[in-house]
């Protein structure tokens, strides 16, 4: 899609990836960007860098993806939609019924509003959780669904709702295009404490601030593909601009880092001489995950550019300059 002069609605646009995508979108010559967010996890503070842009609108009538009439109102006259709204992994584990309602019924509501309002394209936030533990590496988009948690199940369902409704309407006046993005382990400024995997970064930094030896659960050999949130935002814009449709893409670096390596990097960056402590893991997640970035590079001209060390520095800088915001995120996770 040529996005010049177009209007977009960003569902979940005040969250981590959403707010960075809004910023990236407003660097383009677009006509209007509407943030549709209930501010449960996101915040207006996340939009502070663009809040004065006259093209930015915040839907203020009670943005809730469980309310189809509000989605219908928010999508009128819109050319493209980005969908980031979801309950996160641990919430899905603890509250599967709510996860079903939000992640699955909510996604259907968004698709229905897209179809009813003639929206041209959807970029859907999926997740590498659909893959589960690696059966082969690197994990390309044809890797089997090996997911074993409810969050991943809702993302698989979302992907197939997108595909099935696309197929149903592809030869009708209600035709829409879509692309699904499978993010790997996203980190960066505005990060909170809710992510099951990347929250370890914030928790280690908390412990270092207090002079406490950082805790590693297990032996630290669990290894993931960490992708900087700014790169995720660029991937979203690339997906909307691309001619690709009915496709899913990894958003990853192709580089794998263990939790032990990550912890040592944080010790080095903060100048700490504390020793790491190890505890038995009380809940096991995916142990090994590295993505193949080739399809995204070939079909939508996206390639991650942020190196892990530089991205961690940017996260630490944001954290040090947003102490109150970090405290609120920490307290929210406790609650």
Catalytic residues: 151
DSSP state of 172: S
**Cα(35)–Cα(37) distance, integer angstroms:** 6
- As a whole number of angstroms, the distance between CA 193 and CA 329 comes to 6
Residues comprising the chain, all counted: 335
The H or E element spanning position 206 is: helix 199-209
Contact call for residues 21 and 10 (beta carbons, < 8 A): yes
Number of helices (H), then strands (E), belonging to the chain: the values are 12, 13
Choose among 115, 91, 88: nearest CA to 177: 115
| 265 burial type by CB count under 10 A (0-12 exposed, 13-18 middle, 19+ buried) | middle
Q: How far apart are the first and last CA of the chain?
A: 42
């Amino acid at each position: 899609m040529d996005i010049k002069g177009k209007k977009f609605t960003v569902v979940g646009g005040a969250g981590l990836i959403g707010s960075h995508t809004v910023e990236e979108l407003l660097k383009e010559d677009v006509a209007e960007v509407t943030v549709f967010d209930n501010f449960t996890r996101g915040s207006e503070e996340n939009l502070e860098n663009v809040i004065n842009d006259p093209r930015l609108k915040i839907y203020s009538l009670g943005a809730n993806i469980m309310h189809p009439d509000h989605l219908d109102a928010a999508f009128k006259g819109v050319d493209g939609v980005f969908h980031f709204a979801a309950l996160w992994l641990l919430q899905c584990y603890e509250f599967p019924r709510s996860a079903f309602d939000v992640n699955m019924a909510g996604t259907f509501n968004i698709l229905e509003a897209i179809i009813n309002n003639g929206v041209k394209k959807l970029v859907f936030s999926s997740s590498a959780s659909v893959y589960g533990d690696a059966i082969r590496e690197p994990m390309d988009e044809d890797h089997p669904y090996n997911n074993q948690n409810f969050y991943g199940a809702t993302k698989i369902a979302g992907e197939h709702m997108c595909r099935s409704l696309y197929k149903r309407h592809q030869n009708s006046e209600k035709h829409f295009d879509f692309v699904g993005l499978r993010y790997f382990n996203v980190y960066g400024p505005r990060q909170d404490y809710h992510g099951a995997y990347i929250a370890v970064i914030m928790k280690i930094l908390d412990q270092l601030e207090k002079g406490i030896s950082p805790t590693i659960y297990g032996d630290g050999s669990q290894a993931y593909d960490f992708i900087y949130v700014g790169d995720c935002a660029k991937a979203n814009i690339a997906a909307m601009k691309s001619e690709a449709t009915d496709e899913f893409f990894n958003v990853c670096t192709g580089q794998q880092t263990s939790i032990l390596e990550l912890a040592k990097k944080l010790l080095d960056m903060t100048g700490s001489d504390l020793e790491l402590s190890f505890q038995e893991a009380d809940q096991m997640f995916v142990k090994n995950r590295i993505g193949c970035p080739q399809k995204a590079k070939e079909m939508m001209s996206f390639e991650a550019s942020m190196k892990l060390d530089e991205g961690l520095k940017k996260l630490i800088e944001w954290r040090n300059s947003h102490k109150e915001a970090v405290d609120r995120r920490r307290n929210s996770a406790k609650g």
